């Protein structure tokens, strides 16, 4: 009897030691949402997204070395983090695009030591987004410093803005490299390699009388965000980390209704990274940010320049 009791006690002890390990979620269980105010973007380490860097598009007849050099100073100063801050200044802090651009120009010395051109009027088009309006104002500050009389004019969406640029109704337009290349080609023309995109874009633009300045480091493209608390809990820095650690039923992906079918959204995560989520939640951008912060979704499809990504 004593021997039986000892064996039973040992078995209970062993079970007690191994129970915590058995309770840990398996790699296939997925990662439930974790609420938090701060959002972080996971690195697209397998380069799923096209290089949609900001680039000044210029009507060739209106271009000059001095104007292009002035616009290039904007590109040289602008990375994605600064673009996020500019967008936050306008959409969250409620500054005008012109005021935000002037503050950025002063902080980044955009008007210091600019080579002055021959002068004349330059009309700069602004697209429909607040971001495009702010970029247009930045170009206006740089062009003014180079001796031009710069005016910003609403140009509307690309389908009206690009023809206006070709006709010379506007002289300069802030654009996005891969998206514009695809638009001009009439078919998919993107690539994660910026040099490849710019080579294609330059050739396509030449046929329409367009030239381009230097592309900025700043990108406006699809990205995937999680809360900083979620990333810390699961040790995530890249999308490969997400796929390796969080594929499973508990993981909830949020994004626009088209995301599951888009190669740069959930479909791309499945095809490129082998990531499988348990559920998809269709949300607009505002609803998605709120769902991330309140623990409604694990990972969300966002724009890389979204002001919600500003550091807390």
- Whether residue 204 is contained in a domain is answered as yes
Residues 203, 58, single domain; the answer is yes
Residues 229, 208, single domain; the answer is no
At 296, the pLDDT band (50, 70, 90 cuts) reads: very high
Residues 86, 201, single domain; the answer is yes
Per-residue confidence (pLDDT) for residue 118, from 0 to 100? 79
pLDDT at 230 over 70: yes
Question: Mean pLDDT across the stretch 206-213?
Answer: 98
How many degrees, rounded to 5, is the angle at CA 54 between CA 200 and CA 122? 95
Question: Mean pLDDT across the stretch 26-31?
Answer: 72
Q: Among 182, 212, 242, where does a domain finish?
A: 212
pLDDT at 19 over 90: no
Residues 202, 90, single domain; the answer is yes
- Whether residue 79 is contained in a domain is answered as yes
- Whether residue 7 is contained in a domain is answered as no
Residues 299, 239, single domain; the answer is yes
Mean pLDDT of the chain: 91
- Whether residue 121 is contained in a domain is answered as yes
Residues 108, 202, single domain; the answer is yes
pLDDT at 2 over 50: no
Residues 38, 90, single domain; the answer is no
Percent of the chain's residues with pLDDT above 90: 86
pLDDT at 15 over 60: no
- Whether residue 193 is contained in a domain is answered as yes
The CATH number assigned to the domain holding 183 equals 3.10.105.10
Q: Backbone phi, then psi, for 101, in 5-degree steps?
A: -65, -40
Q: Among 152, 185, 212, where does a domain finish?
A: 212
Residues 203, 278, single domain; the answer is no
Handedness of CA 202, 205, 210, 216 (dihedral sign): negative
Per-residue confidence (pLDDT) for residue 113, from 0 to 100? 84
Residues 68, 89, single domain; the answer is yes
Per-residue confidence (pLDDT) for residue 131, from 0 to 100? 98
What is the SS3 assignment for 229? helix
* Number of domain units in the chain: 2
pLDDT at 18 over 60: no
Residues 85, 120, single domain; the answer is yes
pLDDT at 274 over 70: yes
What is the SS3 assignment for 181? helix
Lowest mean pLDDT among 64-68, 116-120, 183-187, 190-194: 116-120
| Model confidence pLDDT, tens digit, residues 120-151 | 999 999 999 999 999 999 999 999 999 999 99
Question: Mean pLDDT across the stretch 193-211?
Answer: 97
Residues 198, 109, single domain; the answer is yes
pLDDT at 294 over 90: yes
210-212/248-255 β-pairing: unpaired
Per-residue confidence (pLDDT) for residue 114, from 0 to 100? 83
Per-residue confidence (pLDDT) for residue 311, from 0 to 100? 82
Sequence-ordered alpha helix ranges (H) in 78-217: 80-91, 97-107, 130-145, 158-167, 177-185, 194-206
Lowest mean pLDDT among 135-139, 205-209, 284-288, 293-297: 284-288
* 208: Cα within 13 Å, side-chain hemisphere: 23
- Whether residue 20 is contained in a domain is answered as no
The CATH number assigned to the domain holding 299 equals 3.40.190.120
- Whether residue 11 is contained in a domain is answered as no
Between 287 and 26, where is the model more confident?
287
Q: What's the CA gap between 291 and 198, in Å, rounded?
A: 36
pLDDT at 166 over 90: yes
pTM score over 0.75: yes
Residues 164, 274, single domain; the answer is no
- Whether residue 178 is contained in a domain is answered as yes
CA distance readout (Å), 234 to 24, 97, 145, 224: 12, 38, 49, 15
Q: Among 181, 212, 243, where does a domain finish?
A: 212
At 28, the pLDDT band (50, 70, 90 cuts) reads: low
Domain range for 269 is: 25-48+221-309
Per-residue confidence (pLDDT) for residue 189, from 0 to 100? 87
Question: Mean pLDDT across the stretch 36-61?
Answer: 97
Lowest mean pLDDT among 114-123, 158-167, 178-187: 114-123
């Amino acid at each position: 009897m004593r021997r039986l009791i000892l064996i039973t006690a040992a078995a209970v002890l062993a079970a007690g030691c191994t129970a915590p390990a058995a309770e840990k979620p398996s790699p296939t269980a997925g990662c439930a949402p974790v609420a938090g105010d701060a959002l972080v973007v996971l690195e697209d380490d397998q380069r799923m997204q096209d290089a949609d860097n900001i680039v000044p598009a210029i009507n060739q007849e209106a271009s000059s070395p001095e104007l292009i050099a002035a616009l290039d100073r904007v590109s040289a100063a602008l990375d994605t983090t600064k673009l996020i801050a500019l967008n936050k200044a306008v959409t969250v802090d409620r500054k005008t695009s012109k005021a935000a651009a002037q503050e950025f120009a002063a902080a980044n010395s955009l008007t210091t030591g600019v080579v002055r051109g021959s002068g004349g009027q330059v009309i700069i088009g602004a697209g429909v987004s607040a971001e495009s309006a702010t970029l247009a104002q930045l170009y206006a500050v740089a062009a003014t410093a180079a001796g031009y009389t710069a005016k910003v004019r609403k140009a509307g969406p690309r389908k009206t803005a690009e023809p206006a640029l070709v006709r010379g109704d506007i002289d300069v337009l802030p654009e996005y490299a891969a998206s514009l290349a695809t638009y001009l080609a009439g078919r998919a023309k993107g690539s994660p390699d910026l040099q490849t995109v710019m080579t294609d874009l330059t050739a396509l633009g030449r046929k329409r009388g367009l030239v381009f300045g230097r592309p900025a480091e700043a990108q406006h493209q699809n990205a995937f965000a999680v809360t900083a608390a979620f990333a810390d809990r699961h040790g995530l820095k890249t999308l490969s980390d997400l796929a390796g650690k969080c594929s499973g039923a508990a993981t909830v992906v949020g994004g626009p209704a088209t995301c599951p079918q888009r190669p740069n959204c959930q479909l791309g995560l499945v095809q490129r990274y082998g990531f499988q989520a348990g559920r998809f939640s269709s949300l607009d951008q505002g609803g998605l940010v709120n769902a991330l912060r309140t623990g409604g979704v694990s990972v969300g499809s966002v724009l890389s320049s979204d002001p919600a990504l500003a550091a807390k």
